[in-house]
Amino acid sequence: MARIIVVTSGKGGVGKTTTSASISTGLAQRGYKTAVIDFDVGLRNLDLIMNCERRVVYDFVNVIQGEATLNQALIRDKRVENLFILPASQTRDKEALTAEGVQKVLDEMSETFDYLVCDSPAGIEHGALMALYHADEAIVVTNPEVSSVRDSDRILGILQSKSRRAEQGMDPVKEHLLLTRYNSERVERGEMLSLEDVNDILSISLLGVIPESQAVLNASNQGSPVILEDESEAGGAYADAVARLLGEERPLRFLDGNKKGFLKRMFGG
Amino acid sequence: MSEPAATATDNRACFELRGASQTLTVMELHHFDPDALERDLRDKIRQAPNFFRDLPLVIGLDHYEGNVADLDFFQLIGICRTHSIQVLGVRGGDDDIRRLARNAALAWLPGGQASTPRAVPEPEQDTAESSEESTPETTSTGAGRLVTQPVRSGQQVYAPEGDLIIMAPVGAGAEVLAAGHIHIYGPLRGRALAGVHGDTSASIFCQSLEAELVSVAGHYKISEDLQGDDWRTPARIRLEGDVLTVDPLTR
């Protein structure tokens, strides 16, 4: 039985797809057979970040509608063993994701995979609800700003009421906070919420803090999950997040990772 | 002056009549089919056997759609008896039904209002649900309601009869309502409405006042009006006459 993880946020542009790509890559690197599924039907971009857009023949909707088998649609990653991508359809609309269809596909994948990472679309509409419905765990991606935190709070409420685990009265979905695009300098200047502020509002367990970094943008443009950039801070932070997801203890890094801050502390009083 | 005890006993009337109201279970009958009734009744009893043991029951006929001629009260009583349910009488219906009831030695009660069928405890349903999305896990003791999970944006928690106690933050965009007091052991960032049925003595207590709106018995203040000394501090909100006041919660 695979463990199903949804990567969600409510708000758009906070780093859901980047996170889905890196977390799934990290899990596969650890030896777990992992599939990352793009639920963003109509606006797919997971395959771009995973650099497999030229290899898409069939997609998630084809499988749901019985036009292709799972094996035909799954794309094997070329860099990391054990990693597979199930791309979304560019040409259908979100209604093509039916509850029964999604259930059927996830059930079939559960038999052979260790982890299924569901990349949710933004918003709280049908596509997002489909992505979170089957989740065992949820990674709530949040930027340190008020509207993102508010949307995350909303999506946590929906996880508690609209997920399968909630509807069937099972143990609740395990919630993790992943704070992305964290810029300690701007936090110090009061332009961004601090980790403490976000924690105070959302009060869920912290999976990691990903520093704002040029490496993330570069990696996306090159079609490579940033976790593969070992030297970058963001890559290291994602590796830590994967470790914590697997139950390991890791100290928080990169919270004050800029030189200016250090000098300011030395001389600025 | 003392009288012999025996005389006192003799003087006392052997009964007195008093008015009393009792909540009874009404079986709203839509049509009468002995086999279907027997089967459905058995199903219901299986869900809550203790509820039905020696249950006094009134047959409600306000919503009866079938043919009056089909109504066989003797058979109906028989079915109920076999499940140890005691039929007391009949409610509603016309003169024909009244006569039939009298023949079957059942009391006749005037028709009730078209109340929605309830009374039988359906398997675990939350009656205080009011928002489109369900609320965080709660337990209720008596009329009050206890919430231990954070109340998130878009969620609503309502205690329709008593106090509401929340041992977690109430997020911005969340709404908590109670007929009585509201206690929040955490920051209040959303909306809190106490005394929603008009109880002017209700209060709101919170550990950090950061609310979007607070209201007691319909008198409200919005965030803009709350930015005083008590903002972000432990506070109590109550009605003083017609004025909603905020007091610091000092210990």
Question: Which residues of chain A make contact with B126, given a CB cutoff of 8 A?
Answer: none
Question: Which residues of chain A make contact with B133, given a CB cutoff of 8 A?
Answer: 157-158, 161-162
Out of A154, A166, A203, the one facing B154 most closely (by C-beta) is A154
More confident residue, B27 or A93: B27
What confidence tens digit (pLDDT) does each residue in A197-243 have? 999 999 999 999 999 999 999 999 999 999 999 889 999 999 999 99
Out of A153, A161, A166, the one facing B153 most closely (by C-beta) is A153
Question: Which residues of chain B make contact with A156, given a CB cutoff of 8 A?
Answer: 150, 152
pLDDT of residue B137: 60
Binary contact (A201, B169; C-beta < 8 A): yes
List the structure tokens of A50. 């995973």
CA A7 and chain centroid, separation: 4
Residues near A87 by Cβ (< 8 Å), separated by ≥ 6? A38, A44, A46, A47, A52, A53, A56, A59, A60, A73, A75
ipTM over 0.95: no
The pLDDT confidence band at residue A130, using thresholds 50, 70 and 90, is very high
Question: Which residues of chain A make contact with B176, given a CB cutoff of 8 A?
Answer: none
CA distance, residue B132 to nearest chain A CA (Å)? 10
pLDDT of residue B21: 62
Binary contact (A157, B172; C-beta < 8 A): no
Binary contact (A158, B168; C-beta < 8 A): no
CA distance, residue A10 to nearest chain B CA (Å)? 12
Measured between CA atoms, the residue of chain B closest to residue A201 is B171
Q: Is B160 on the interface with A (CB under 8 A)?
A: no
Q: Is the pLDDT of residue A91 over 90?
A: no
Best CA proximity match to A145, nearest among A189, A210, A194: A194
- Mean pLDDT is lowest, of A27-36, A112-121, B41-50, B117-126, for B117-126
List the structure tokens of B205. 């207590």
Interface size, chain A vs chain B, as Cβ–Cβ contacts under 8 Å:
44
pLDDT of residue B130: 41
Asked if B218 contacts B206 with a C-beta cutoff of 8 angstroms, the reply is: no
The string of DSSP letters for B207-224 reads EEE--SEEEETTEEEEGG
Asked if A59 contacts A89 with a C-beta cutoff of 8 angstroms, the reply is: yes
Q: For residue A15, give the amino acid letter.
A: G
Q: Which stretches in chain B have pLDDT values below 70?
A: 1-10, 19-23, 111-142, 251
Q: Is the pLDDT of residue A268 over 50?
A: no
pLDDT of residue B103: 83
Q: Averaged over A131-143, what is the pLDDT?
A: 97
Number of C-beta neighbours around residue B134 at 10 A: 18
Q: For residue A253, give the amino acid letter.
A: R
Q: Is A174 on the interface with B (CB under 8 A)?
A: no
Binary contact (A157, B189; C-beta < 8 A): no
Burial bucket for residue B237 (CB in 10 Å: 0-12, 13-18, 19+): buried
More confident residue, B21 or A84: A84
What confidence tens digit (pLDDT) does each residue in A244-262 have? 999 999 999 887 755 444 5
Q: Is the pLDDT of residue A127 over 50?
A: yes
Q: Is the pLDDT of residue A53 over 50?
A: yes
Mean pLDDT of chain A: 91
pLDDT of residue B234: 96
pLDDT of residue B33: 85
pLDDT of residue A148: 96
Measured between CA atoms, the residue of chain A closest to residue B129 is A161
Binary contact (B171, A201; C-beta < 8 A): yes
Binary contact (B149, A160; C-beta < 8 A): yes
pLDDT of residue B31: 83
pLDDT of residue A96: 85
pLDDT of residue B135: 57
Q: Averaged over A145-173, what is the pLDDT?
A: 94
CA distances from B48 to A21, B45, B122 (A): 51, 5, 9
Distance, CA of A14 to CA of A154 (rounded, Å) = 15
Q: Is B98 on the interface with A (CB under 8 A)?
A: no
Interface of B with A in 188-217 (CB under 8 A): 189
